[in-house]
Each structure stands twice: as C-alpha cells, then as structure tokens.
Structure 1
Amino acid sequence: MASNPNYCDITPEIEALAAMALKNSSIDPEDYVRYDVKRGLRDLNGKGVLAGLTEVSDIVAKKVVDGKEIPCEGKLYYRGVDVEELVGGALKEGRFGFEETAYLLLLGRLPNAQELASFQEQLSYYRSLPNNFVRDVILKAPSHDIMNSLARSVLNLASYDDRADDISLPNVMRQCVQLIALFPMLAVYGYQAWNYKSGSSLYIHAPRPELSAAENILSLLRADSSYSFWEAHVLDICLILHAEHGGGNNSTFTTHVVTSSGTDTYSCMAAALASLKGPKHGGANIKVVRMFEDLKAHVRDWKDEDEVRAYLQALLDKRAFDRAGLIYGMGHAVYSLSDPRANLFKHFVEKLSQEKGRTEEYELYSLVARLGPELISGERTMYKGVSANVDFYSGFVYHMLDLPLELYTPLFAMARIAGWSAHRMEELINMSKIIRPAYRYVGEHQNYVPMEGR
C-alpha cells in the first residue's frame, strides 16, 4: 500500500488528459501499409525484420524446397548444439544441465568436466548477497509483483558494486556470472518477503554451494527445503529450455538495444526484466494455467472430446474465460509445425504427472494440445501452422511442483539471464553503433500560438 492515500487515485483531470492523448496520438493502421512500415518489426506474414547477427542461438522453423521456404518441425540450437542433445546428455549422465548450458551460451563451446566444475565453483562463490541486502532492500516495501521486486533488487546491486559502470569484458563477465548465481535468491526472497507481509511465516534459507540452480530454487523456496530427484530434474529441464531463444525475442532484443548505448550491466538486465514481465512475453504460462482452471470448472467430463472441443470453440468465439478469442499456449511467433521445447518437455511432464498422481490432468492437456490446432486452423487464415508452445506445459509443471503463481515469470528470468548475458557480451564485443531504428512522422505541422490567443 502507498503511504499517501491519494497516491494511486486517478482524478477526473487525469482522465481528461488521457482522453486528449488518445485523441491526438492515434495513428491510422493503414498508414503502416501506406509507408511500408513493418509494424512490430514483422512483415504481414509475421516474419521478423532482420536487425542483427548472432552466434548465440539458432531457431529453425522452415526449410528450403525447390527454392521456396516451407514450414518444418521446429529445432533449437544453442551455439550450434541441438537443445535436445543438451537435455538428453545431462539426463543420461545423471547430472543437472543448466550450468553446462550457461557455460555453453557464455563461452561458445561445451565445457569438459574440469571446466564445468570450475564454472560451478564460480557460481557458488558468487551466490551470496551483500551484507544486510535482504533486510535493507528485499524486506523493505515488498511487492506482490515479484518481477518488479527482482528488477529493483538488480538495480540496487549496482550500489554495492564499486565497478558497476565498468563495461570491460572481464568485469561484465563477472557481473553476468554473479547475476546468474543470484537471480534465484533475489526472486525467492522477494516472494517470501511479500508472503510475510501478507501474514505468512518468514523463513530465509541460505543457498547450498553443492547444489545445482534447480535444486537451490526448490531448497530456498520450501519451508523444509525438501525435493525429489525427479522434481529437481524437471525444473532443471525448464531452466535449460528457457535459457535462450534467439536475439529477436522482445527481452533479448531489449538487451542488445540497451547494451548498445554503453550502459551498465545492472541497468541492462533491469530493462530486460521489464520486457519479460509483459503478459505477451514472459507471462504466457500464467494465462495457460488460469485458462485450464476455467476449463476444469466448466467441462464436466475431461475425457469427452466433444465437450472439450465445445469449450475451446467458445474460447475462440470470445464466449469463455477472458473473452480474448485465444487458446493460450497455442502458436508461436516463429515455430509453426512444432515447438521443439514443447515436444521435448511433454515426455518429462508425463513422468512428473505420474509421480504426482495427476495423470488425468496431463491427459487433458494432451487432448487440448491435439484439438486446439485443429480448431484454430479451421477458424482462421493461417500463414503458418500452429502447435502447442513451451508455455503450454511449463505452467502445468510449476503447478505440479507447488510453485506459487507469482514466481512463474521470475522462473523464466532465472533461466533467461544466461541468454541475456551471452547476448550482452556479444553486443559489447561487436558493438560499433547505438541501435537506433527510424520512425516516420505522420502528424501535421502546426503554428505556435501565443498564450493569449489560445
């Protein structure tokens, strides 16, 4: 709550100012076509405008046949390594893979055993907050929005860094490794501070140096610090699959844009967090969970295809849930036939649902994943295919892990900080000009009128 009772009031005068801004700032949508402006930096077919080059990751959704691009099964590569092989290799060897993934993204190649052990030691070394940081920053004025809390904590860390503005590569590497190590603590402690303010008990566990990032997240969050082997491994897979996704996604592009100005690492990562917080980007899995809760409340028989299909049709017809006309978790800006992260995830989600005794819910998710694309393609003209994306399953996983809804998007950030860090350093290494696209003025010129004449 704000200390000033009028702090959040929207006065009639403010309403009038907003109405005036709406009247005088609305651009005719046809102007974007008239001036050949790629609205949202995408063409009419949804293809992104080429704005840069990267070696960090590659997203494959099309192949060339007879000189023409056609949709294909999606693939995702981190530094040229298939993410499926990255996940499979860690599981086969019985270890956690996020740390290896972070190393690969930051350094450009897979580590050997000694290099990985050294990198894990560095993460453990930096996994400690400044003295009294929890008391002076996190516990003061906690926010119900943990993304805001996380961004504030990141910005405050600059006050404790004597080299905050040093953008030399060694210093930025140190800051990035430090933030990769600290994000789970900052987010979980932020949630616990808000929970405490809401009347729950407060407990602050210290991270354990021998644990992986996934294990530490569960250990920090739960009152008894307990977790099962499979819970930690599924969460680790979540972190791997969310760690990176090309330079064009909104938060990573933000990282490039902000880095190109020469600003510090803390400001850059706070900007990326602000981007990820948006429901069109990092908050999608929350929408999926809430949609399924509504579905379960209105569909009596989860195995009745006709009943489930009728609900999904009602979603598309804007008659159900939030009446937005969307089946959340379906479709992706790049992938068409399949999202490789969702395909990879599905197997592990099924295993976790068996461990948690929630196989009926998993079967319901599978049914929606099959029916959704059929209904969408029958309703709308599609320039590409549609399929379940990674957000379709990740919210269900977090729900099965008993993770609070408030931490769903911060969990995305705990993973994506690895990719942001790789892109920040790539921009610094190759930076020559500040990123500055052009905007065309389409308003009218007007003469200045002295005050007495208005």
Structure 2
Amino acid sequence: MNQYGDFGKETEELMTICERNDRIPPELFKEFGVKRGLRDVDGTGVLAGISNISRIDAFKTEDGKKVPCDGQLWYRGYNVIDLIHGFEGKRFGFEEVAYLLLFGELPDAAKLGAFKSMLEECRQLPTNFTRDVIMKAPSKDIMNSLTRSVLTLASYDETIADQELHTQLEQCIKLISVFPMLAVYGYHAYNHYICDDSLYIHRPQEGLSAAENLLLMLRPDKAYTELEARVLDIALVLHMEHGGGNNSTFTTRVVTSSGSDTYSVMAAALSSLKGPKHGGANIKVVEMMDDMRNHVKDWGDRDEVKNYLEQLVDKQAFDRKGLIYGMGHAVYSLSDPRARVFKSFVERLAVAKGREKDFALYSMVENLAPEVIAEKRHIYKGVSANVDFYSGFVYSMLDIPLELYTPIFAIARIVGWSAHRMEELVNMDKIIRPAYRSIMPEKAYVPLEER
C-alpha cells in the first residue's frame, strides 16, 4: 500500500464509469470537422500562429503539386547544416546558436564573447539549493526532479512579478545556464540515495562550453575527450529548436499567453516534453536496439534483421506496439536533416569507441525500416530515420545514463522555448483559447434520494 492507500476494486469501478461517460464516438470528429491532434488528415499541423524563429521544409511544389522532398531545418533564416559546418572544428556551437535563436542574428566575436560571459555568470544556483532542494526527495524520473527545481527557483527570484521584457529575457537566460546543473545533480541525487552509489557534485568551470561542462559534471573523474564534447555539442544544437507546433513549444506559447511567469512556463514545457510521444523517443530506440541484439544472431545478416523489423511492425517483438522507434516523423517525409548531418559525427564517435559493429547495425536498420514499413503499412509520405534514432546511440557511447536522455533534450530545447516565449510576449496580447464543440445532452436534475 502506498501513502495514499490502495483502492483496488473501487478505482476499477470508477474507471469503468469514467470511460462510459467520457467516450466520444469517433465518427463525430469527422462530422464536425475536428482536426484531431490539431492536424489535418495528411498530418499537416493546423495553422495556429506566425513565427520568425525557425522553419521546417518537408515538401516542395512541382507543377502545382505538393511533393515530398529531403527535409530542411532553418534557424532564423540559416540552414542548420550550414550553421554546424560553420563552427565545426573551430568552436563549440551551443552558445553561438543560442544567441542566434534568442536574438535573431548571428553574433560577431565581441557579442558572442559577451553572451558567453553572461551565461557563465548565470551558471550558479542559490546557496545550498543543491542540498536543500535537489537532494531532497530524489527521483528516478529526472524530468520530475528538473521540473520541481525550476518551480522552486521561482521562490528565489525577487523579480518574479516583474513583467518587463528584459526581465523575462534575463530569467530565460538564467534557466538556460543552470538547466545542465539541475539535470545532472538531480541524477546524482537519484544515483546516490536510491541506487546506493557514490555521490559527487562537480561545479561547472569557466571557459568551458555547455557540452563540456555537462560531461565534466556527470563523470566521476571529470574527464572527457574533445570528440565526445563536440559530438554532444552538435546533438544539443540539433535539438534546440523545431518550430512552434511541436507539443512542448506550443505549450510554451499557450502558457505564456496566459500571462504566467517564466518558471511556470518552463515547468509546463518540461511536463510536455517528458511524454514518451515527444521527448522520450530516443530511449525507446536504445531499448529496441538492445532487444534486437538479443534476438538477432547475426547482426550483419540483412534477412535476419529484416525479419526482426517485420516482427516489430506486426506487433510480435519488443513492446508489441507495432512501431520501429526512431523511424518516421510527424513533419518530415523523405529525410530528417538533423539525422543526415548527425550521422557522420555518430560514425566518428563509434570508430573512436570501437562500436563500428553497432553503427553498422543502426545503418542497416535505417536502410531496411522504410522498406518494411512500406510493405506493411499504408503511408502518405516517406519514412526515414529521425534525429532520435541516432541520438540515443550517441548518449550510450558517451556513457550517459538512460535517465538523462530526455533531460538532455530539455537542456537543448529550453533555448527554443525561450525564443518562442519572447516572441509571444513581444507580439501577442491575447490568450490562446481554441474551441471545443460540446455534444453533452442536457439532463434534468435528479434528487439524491431518487437516484
């Protein structure tokens, strides 16, 4: 029995009543023209706003017809692949791209240096916050720990009620700076108090990038290679932003429109991201691939791997959900540009880690999965590997625990959330309130003794 009691049969009976009264006939959605999931039948999102922050291209027009194309992702007008090639091997990109997304333009050396200094100055927590907040009530669910920490930080901010835009921006920058600390320290608390392992808390160091400090704080010996940090840095850049329609960013817009404070907005976005249909996909990829290795004797046998994938789609393998995790995307059709550019860096890390055989298996699955899905399913657009297909593999090679996979997503995506929050504050002054059509029948009140 848990602290709230164990209701057992009573809960089952209440759930039966709930389902009976909540169930809506599916045909009514079509009859009233309701776009379920705020998406058209072909998967296109319902237009809910205008943004100047990013753009996703998955289709092009040829001879007046909409046809699938290789995906493109643009940050503030710049192709994300060009951005990565621009800083690759020269400097870490997290801070530079964060500046671009927040302020709408690429910084020069002086502005970038000043922004990095600002992030470093904000990279600290209130006195004893780690001990009094993060270490108390540790949880295996680091996303819950992260959310609790964000909400608690609000009580330390004397400007919480200040509605000035520069104050909102400062709060966003502070949270961008401390998210790695909140996530990693939350994991260490769980690993020590629940897993009975050693406890160590490393402070971030000045002059290091977000990726470097993340690895430094996570590892007992603080050690990491330049390749490890650079691949993680690119992963963070690729996860920073993905349009205003993704669930957590739309949540950011909705809660911002109500006039809520920055901390509450980011807590709501975190709660959205932690859902397995959104931010937890790369965990499922890693678990699926582990199951595949256990059931496929020869990883290099194309027919054997394809047979396993067919079993996945037929709901006969792994979690029997009928999904090949990491394949397909709600927006992209022929390819996910993030996966395309990331793959070469993943391969370099795999070679350095002696994981070439694993990388070959991932590549084979990437090639075979679209073929299997096309044979088994009716699809309206192409299916390809998305960024989550490779990000989980990268995190495993970096010895990052599964519990931190989604929090790392949040460490990157808070930059996009912050950009969208500021854009919403600058341009909008109306609460987001879509309509729901009621099909509720009117009933005459029945006195208690007559029911």
Same-fold status (TM-score > 0.5): yes
**Which structure 1 residue ranges, 5 or more long, are not aligned?**
none
Of the candidates 177, 180, 190, which is equivalent to residue 181 of structure 1? Answer: 177
Q: d(CA) in 1 for partners of 2:271 and 2:2?
A: 26
**Aligned residues of 1:316 and 1:327 also touching (Cα < 8 A):** yes
Alpha-carbon spacing, 1:209–1:67, altered in 2? closer, same or farther (3 Å): same
Of the candidates 104, 110, 114, which is equivalent to residue 106 of structure 2? Answer: 110
Query: What aligned pairs does 1:437-448 form with structure 2 within 5 A after superposition?
Result: 437-448=434-445
Q: d(CA) in 2 for partners of 1:280 and 1:350?
A: 27
Query: What aligned pairs does 1:279-318 form with structure 2 within 5 A after superposition?
Result: 279-318=276-315
Of the candidates 112, 126, 131, which is equivalent to residue 127 of structure 2? Answer: 131
1:451 aligns with 2:448: yes
SS at match of 1:420: helix
1:134-192 CA distance string (max 9 Å, x none)? 11100000111000000000000000001113231100110011001000000000000
Query: What aligned pairs does 1:43-58 form with structure 2 within 5 A after superposition?
Result: 43-58=40-55
Of the candidates 245, 257, 262, which is equivalent to residue 260 of structure 1? Answer: 257
Q: What's the CA shift for 1:12?
A: 2.0
1:62 aligns with 2:53: no
Of the candidates 97, 100, 112, which is equivalent to residue 96 of structure 2? Answer: 100
SS at match of 2:206: coil
1:11 aligns with 2:8: yes
Q: d(CA) in 2 for partners of 1:240 and 1:331?
A: 21
Q: What's the CA shift for 1:431?
A: 1.2
1:21-69 CA distance string (max 9 Å, x none)? 0111011111111111000000111111000000010000011111111
1:272-302 CA distance string (max 9 Å, x none)? 0000000000000000000000000000000
Query: What aligned pairs does 1:70-109 form with structure 2 within 5 A after superposition?
Result: 70-92=67-89, 94-109=90-105
Corresponding residue for residue 33 of structure 1: 30
**Which structure 2 residue ranges, 5 or more long, are not aligned?**
none
The residue identity in structure 2 corresponding to 1:39 is R
1:320-343 CA distance string (max 9 Å, x none)? 000000100000000000000000
1:244 aligns with 2:234: no
Q: What's the CA shift for 1:8?
A: 5.9
What is the CA RMSD across the aligned residues, in angstroms?
Answer: 0.9
Query: What aligned pairs does 1:50-449 form with structure 2 within 5 A after superposition?
Result: 50-92=47-89, 94-197=90-193, 198-449=195-446
Q: What's the CA shift for 1:444?
A: 1.6
Q: d(CA) in 2 for partners of 1:23 and 1:87?
A: 52
Alpha-carbon spacing, 1:83–1:8, altered in 2? closer, same or farther (3 Å): farther
The residue identity in structure 2 corresponding to 1:81 is Y
Query: TM-score, normalised to structure 2's length?
Result: 0.99
> Taking every aligned residue pair, what percent have the same amino acid on both sides?
62
Q: d(CA) in 1 for partners of 2:4 and 2:85?
A: 52
Q: d(CA) in 1 for partners of 2:167 and 2:270?
A: 21
Q: d(CA) in 2 for partners of 1:320 and 1:10?
A: 34
SS at match of 2:73: strand
Query: TM-score, normalised to structure 1's length?
Result: 0.98
**Aligned residues of 1:165 and 1:263 also touching (Cα < 8 A):** no
Q: What's the CA shift for 1:266?
A: 0.2
SS at match of 2:434: coil
1:241-280 CA distance string (max 9 Å, x none)? 0000000000000000000000000000000000000000
SS at match of 2:69: strand
SS at match of 1:319: coil
The residue identity in structure 2 corresponding to 1:172 is Q
Q: d(CA) in 1 for partners of 2:424 and 2:206?
A: 31
Q: What's the CA shift for 1:380?
A: 1.3
The residue identity in structure 1 corresponding to 2:421 is R
Q: d(CA) in 2 for partners of 1:116 and 1:146?
A: 31
**Aligned residues of 1:250 and 1:281 also touching (Cα < 8 A):** yes
Provide the aligned length of Structure 1 versus Structure 2: 450
| Bigger Cα displacement from structure 2, 387-396 vs 376-385 | 376-385
Q: What's the CA shift for 1:5?
A: 3.9
